[in-house]
């Protein structure tokens, strides 16, 4: 397969930081970019670096209520207000400095990947900082300020793209895009996720959730029981998720590549290894070319083994997008960098489960 790959790099995305005790660590994205560079993937002849601008309010308002955008800006600048009503406060979504600006940077990265893909500058675009799929139109949720995949999808629709398939591989249900495009027949949302509504976040994603009155069948959910293993997950991906997207015949494929499905992730109970991400990358790459003429916008997502798992998984995905093999042995300088941040316990190879 051929096609130029675009890598979004926005070092300022490091300010998306809920604090040192929060599971969503900005280091996971910084270490991903660092590992991609250590493998020299960003310097490959078929790779273009994409340098985004923050999404402006008008673009964010394609998805989010303006009152929510203003509340996010005010809260992140230390103003007092009824922030709990917008989803901010103790717990999953603590207020942090420059919260609006951080969310706008992330959304701008996914938007830049989408723009470059539809402009024909690249076939595939990847924003590792993106994938914040729990944010709703008027409420933050699940560590997510602005819903960057939904913002990019809404922008694509506004700019003439007629059919978009959104595939969400995160361990948590892709509830934000599903809710936002619930009644939009031009958008297919497909989510494969752990499902135990009595205790597992966000409590949605049952197979009976099928889309709104004007878009019946536009939402497809593949709920999996806790403790589901790698073979069953791959079977579900190949037998349910990919065929649904292929039959939709999208103009653009958008994917959320959360790797909190890993067997060591502290927030979930699925049992994937690095092998699953390598195989999923190949399957998605094939799907993009077969179903969407190669046009593929990819984001990161969840993943809370931020040094051991996330950079390896997302580097595998990007190496597939760039049609480039990477050595199994991780670059030694990168391992030392990651161990310095994580206090040791970083694998030496890509293949270590």
Evaluate whether 151 touches 59 at the Cβ level (below 8 Å). Answer: yes
Q: How far apart are CA 14 and CA 129, in angstroms?
A: 9
Q: How far is CA 33 from CA 6, 188, 314, 334, 343, in A?
A: 13, 30, 9, 11, 19
Q: How far is CA 285 from CA 86, 88, 125, 259, in A?
A: 37, 37, 12, 17
Which of 92, 71, 30 has its CA nearest to residue 311?
30
Q: Of the residues 18, 64, 133, 134, which is catalytic?
A: 134
**Distance from the Cα of residue 61 to its chain's centroid:** 20
Residue 211: CB atoms within 10 A of its CB come to 20
134 is catalytic: yes
Q: Which residues contact 131 (CB under 8 A, 6 or more apart)?
A: 148, 149, 170, 256, 257, 258, 299, 300, 301, 302
Evaluate whether 295 touches 117 at the Cβ level (below 8 Å). Answer: yes
Buried b (16+ CB within 10 A) or exposed e, 277-290: bbbbbeebbebbbe
What tokens were used for 298? 């990819």
Residues designated as active site: 134
């Amino acid at each position: 397969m051929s096609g130029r790959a675009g890598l979004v790099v926005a070092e300022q995305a490091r300010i998306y930081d809920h604090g040192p005790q929060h599971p969503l660590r900005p280091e996971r994205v910084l270490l991903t970019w660092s590992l991609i560079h250590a493998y020299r993937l960003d310097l490959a002849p078929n790779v273009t670096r994409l340098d985004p601008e923050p999404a402006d309010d008008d673009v964010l308002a394609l998805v989010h209520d303006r009152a929510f955008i203003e509340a996010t800006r005010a809260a992140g600048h230390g103003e007092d207000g009824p922030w709990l009503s917008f989803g901010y406060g103790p717990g999953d979504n603590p207020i942090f400095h420059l919260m609006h600006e951080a969310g706008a940077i992330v959304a701008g990265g996914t938007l830049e990947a989408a723009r470059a893909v539809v402009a024909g500058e690249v076939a595939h675009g990847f924003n590792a900082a993106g994938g914040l799929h729990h944010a709703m139109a008027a409420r933050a949720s699940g560590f997510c300020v602005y819903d960057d995949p939904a913002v990019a999808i809404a922008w694509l629709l506004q700019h003439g793209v007629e059919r978009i398939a959104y595939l969400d591989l995160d361990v948590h249900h892709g509830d934000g895009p599903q809710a936002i495009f619930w009644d939009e027949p031009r958008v297919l949302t497909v989510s494969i996720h752990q499902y135990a509504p009595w205790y597992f976040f966000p409590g949605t994603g049952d197979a009976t959730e099928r889309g709104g009155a004007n878009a019946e069948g536009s939402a497809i959910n593949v709920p999996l029981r806790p403790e589901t293993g790698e073979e069953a997950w791959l079977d579900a991906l190949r037998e349910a998720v990919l065929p649904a997207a292929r039959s939709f015949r999208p103009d653009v494929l958008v994917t959320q590549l959360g790797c909190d499905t890993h067997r060591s992730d502290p927030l979930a109970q699925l049992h994937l290894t690095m092998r699953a991400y390598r195989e999923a990358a190949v399957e998605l790459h094939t799907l993009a070319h077969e179903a969407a003429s190669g046009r593929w916008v990819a984001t990161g997502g969840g993943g809370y083994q931020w040094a051991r798992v996330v950079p390896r998984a997302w580097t595998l995905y990007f190496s597939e997008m760039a049609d480039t093999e990477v050595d199994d042995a991780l670059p030694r300088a990168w391992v030392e960098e990651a161990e310095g941040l994580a206090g040791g316990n970083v694998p030496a190879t890509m293949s270590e489960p």
